[in-house]
Amino acid sequence: MQVKRKVRVGVGVVTLVVLLGGCSQPLSTREKGTLLGGGIGAASGAIIGSAVGHPGAGAAIGGAMGALSGGLIGDQFQGQERRTAYQQGQINRQSRELRRQRRDIERLKRQSTGDGEY
């Protein structure tokens, strides 16, 4: 009887993770962290809870704590991704500006030596 209950809880956790995973595509980094943390927390909580005879309560508590932790970690990663994307955009803009300035310098050099068109 205990084994059947553990199996049901495990199947329920996996089903919940799969259903939540299909809700919002594509998932943001924060959402991925929340989902992963919740799944790991629920599974760990169920295992620990089964040791004391309450796998459902353990899964619920572990899932909530895992989702919270995963969400916070995912949020930090998402912020880092945004900062990196912003910095890359700045680098790209500066590279374009440098190329434009080099073209202008070459054009001015040609004009000053009399090779350029007026």
Segment 48-104, tens digit of pLDDT: 888 888 888 888 898 999 999 999 999 999 999 999 999 999 999 999 999 999 999
Instruction: Flag whether 15 is in a domain.
Output: yes
Instruction: Flag whether 98 is in a domain.
Output: no
- Please count the structural domains in the chain: 1
Instruction: Flag whether 41 is in a domain.
Output: yes
pTM: 0.60
**All residues at 6 or more sequence positions from 66 whose CB lies less than 8 Å from its CB, including other chains:** 37, 38, 39, 40, 41, 42, 44, 45
Instruction: Flag whether 26 is in a domain.
Output: yes
Instruction: Flag whether 107 is in a domain.
Output: no
Amino acid at the residue 48: I
pLDDT digits (tens, 9 = 90+) for 18-52: 666 566 578 888 989 998 999 899 888 888 888 88
**All residues at 6 or more sequence positions from 1 whose CB lies less than 8 Å from its CB, including other chains:** none
Q: Can you give the residue range of the structural domain that contains 26?
A: 2-83
CA dist., res. 43 & res. 61, Å (int): 10
